[in-house]
Amino acid sequence: GRDERSVPWRERPPLTQLEDFRVVVIGAGFSGICMGIRLIEQGIPFVILEKNADVGGTWLENTYPDCAVDTPNHFYSYSFHPNNDWTHHFSKQPEILAYIRDTVARYDLRRHIRFGVEVERAAYDESSSRWRLQFKDEQGHMDCNVLVTAVGLLNRPAVPPVPGIDAFAGPRFHTAEWRHDVELDGKRVAMIGTGASGMQAGPAIAPAAASLTVFQRSPHWAMNNPNYHRKVTDGMRWALNNVPFLSQWLRFQLYWASSDGFHSQLKVDPSWPHPERSLNAQNDQMRERLVQHIHTELEGRPDLIAKCTPTFPPYGKRMLRDNHWYRMLRRENVRLETGAIDHVEANAIVMRDGTRHEIDVMVLATGFQASKVLWPMDIRGKDDVSIRDIWGDDDPRAHLGMNVPGFPNLFVSFGPGTNLAHGGSAIFHFECQVRYIQQALREMIETGISSMEVRRDIHDQYNEQLDDLHRDMVWAHPGVKNWYKNARNRVTLTSPWRLLDYWALTREFRLSDFTVRRRATGIP
């Protein structure tokens, strides 16, 4: 026992004889799959429960036209399963889904996944130190020692509360629930919302539609990145496959450029003389470039330039990549409506100033109910306390984004304060979280811990630090509305850290941050 424990955890052999121990992972998207692969390697029994019929999570659900990633793919992929054959620097959804399926096949993960199972309720039972899960529609139940939620943040579509929206007689659908059976050719299409999803879908649907009316509540910044539309050359693919370490070097470069090389643009400089337009000198230079891009693309169209130039500092909302958006707005069949929507009728959207837009199809690119982390699952910790009683509708907190006092043996992947607003790959963060959880599990199993609960003082201290850091970040700017913060202007979902900081924070699991209960002896 003792000798084994002095070996670093990564080098210890896989665990065996763990018939009584089970981890349940909820979700078979990027993070749940990563967790599953590591659990196989560690020899820890587990089941992944997935509500959909296949793996992929967000990349299975979002199939709107031109859906693509906006993080370079050579970084937006698993470090342990690099793909040197990406066809594009920023690949489209089908290629990313294929990569996910390929990863699952390579690690033979499917046999651990139960598809079509949606967890409705998870309750912690203190006497047995186990979680009891109840599935939806009385599909069954399951017990486990440790629960890992890997359900993502952006998967419950938000439908805008516009009066009369349900009275619309034509097809209406959200970008995350694209209706491929609805023909858009020759139709009068309305698209509400101009965030990352709208930016990608709009230019793809405009050419075939009879007309496209874009309803923009507020403009977003969108940068021009030549690589965004570029294919990876044959030469580069060859080199990535044949030159030692080149793919790791490229990955490192992308990591560096998106983290340390960039983080200073996001922080308020109190001595900066133009706080009305930017945060600091670097942020201002970025603004200058973005404005220039708008002027170049919309030359001769001062009306559109005025409508498309945001008034908040760059990065206040997620920075978009120009998917030929401005060029699309110049098309004869496209209109940009920036007034306030009053109501919807059977065949029209009516504006507050009385303007009627008659339409056949309504596309909602209106984002997600992001703040309701883990919703609609009913998660109950010690004393039957619901996580909603602690977080309310929109005020989630967790230690390192993963652990909540009162909820022992629960780890939240992609939890509060861990979304990457700009820069960096979410998969990098998932890997940090999974590595941390892996260490926690080994500690539990090897030393006979039955319950592990994060200390409240540690949790509170971490969250104070998080709130302090956010105060100086661009997305907390009171003039900006975004999905990173809640109704009371507290940034709840996004990480204030550089990638390096979060990597360092989660690198070593610290048992002293937890209150533990042990059963007899561990299994070395």
Binding site for ligand N01 (CB under 6 A): 68-70, 154, 160, 192-198, 200, 215, 217-218, 318, 365-367, 481, 483
Q: How far is the CB of 247 from ligand N01 (least distance, A)?
A: 22
User: Is the CB of 285 or the CB of 355 nearer to ligand N01?
Assistant: 355
Q: Which is nearer to ligand N01, 119 or 199 (CB)?
A: 199
Which residue's CB is nearer to ligand N01, number 144 or number 491?
Answer: 491
**Cβ at position 251, least distance to ligand N01 in Å:** 18
Amino acid at 433: Q
Write down the least CB distance from residue 161 to ligand N01, Å: 6
Return d(Cα 336, Cα 357) in angstroms, integer. Answer: 11
Residue with tokens 């979700």: 27
In whole angstroms, the minimum distance from the beta carbon of 425 to ligand N01 comes to 11
Cβ–Cβ under 8 Å, residues 242 and 220? no
Q: Indicate the residue among 326 and 514 with the shorter CB distance to ligand N01.
A: 326
Min dist. Cβ of residue 80 to ligand N01 (A) = 22
Three-class secondary structure assignment of 95-108? HHHHHHHHHHHHCC
CA 349 – CA 213 distance, rounded (Å) = 10
CB of 344 to ligand N01, least distance (A): 11
Which structure tokens are listed for 430? 């998932």
Query: Whole-number minimum distance, CB 402 to ligand N01, in Å?
Result: 20
- Residue with smaller CB distance to ligand N01, 366 or 438: 366
Omega of the bond prior to 376 within 30 degrees of 0, cis? yes
CB of 217 to ligand N01, least distance (A): 3
Least Cβ distance, residue 507 to ligand N01 (angstroms): 25
114 with 50: CB under 8 angstroms? yes
User: Per-residue DSSP letters for 213-280?
Assistant: EEE-SS---EE--GGGGPBPPHHHHHHHHHSTTHHHHHHHHHHHHHTTTTGGGGB--TT-S-TTT-SS
Work out how close the CB of 58 gets to ligand N01 at its nearest, in angstroms, rounded to a whole number: 8
Compare residues 47 and 206 and give the one whose CB is closer to ligand N01: 206
The sheet with strand 113-115 has its strands ordered as 113-115, 46-50, 23-26, 146-149, 410-412
Judged on CB neighbours under 10 Å (0-12, 13-18, 19+), 382 is middle
| 62 vs 129, beta carbon nearer ligand N01 | 62
CA distances from 101 to 31, 54, 65 (A): 13, 9, 21
Q: Which is nearer to ligand N01, 122 or 374 (CB)?
A: 374
What is the distance between the alpha carbons of residues 36 and 41, in angstroms, rounded to a whole number? 9
Q: Which is nearer to ligand N01, 82 or 160 (CB)?
A: 160
Q: What radius of gyration, in Å, describes the C-alpha atoms of the chain?
A: 24
- Please, what is the minimum distance in Å from the beta carbon of residue 242 to ligand N01? 30
| HSE, side-chain direction, 13 A CA sphere, residue 253 | 9
Longest CA span, the chain: 78
Q: Find residue 130's DSSP bridge partners.
A: 125
The C-alpha atoms of residue 185 and residue 398 are separated, in whole angstroms, by: 47
Nearest approach in angstroms of CB 250 to ligand N01 is 19
3-state helix, strand, coil in the chain (%, to 5): 35, 20, 45
Rank residues 70 and 513 by Cβ distance to ligand N01 and give the closer one. 70
Tokens 């539609």 correspond to what residue?
209
User: Taking Cα atoms as reference points, which of 403, 415, 360, 317 lies closest to residue 179?
Assistant: 360
- Rounded least distance, CB 510 to ligand N01, Å: 30
Instruction: Give the bridge partners for 337, in sequence order.
Output: 215
If the CB atoms of residues 68 and 377 are measured against ligand N01, the closer one turns out to be 68
Helix 234-242 × helix 246-258 angle, to 10° = 110
Nearer to ligand N01, 202 or 405 (CB): 202
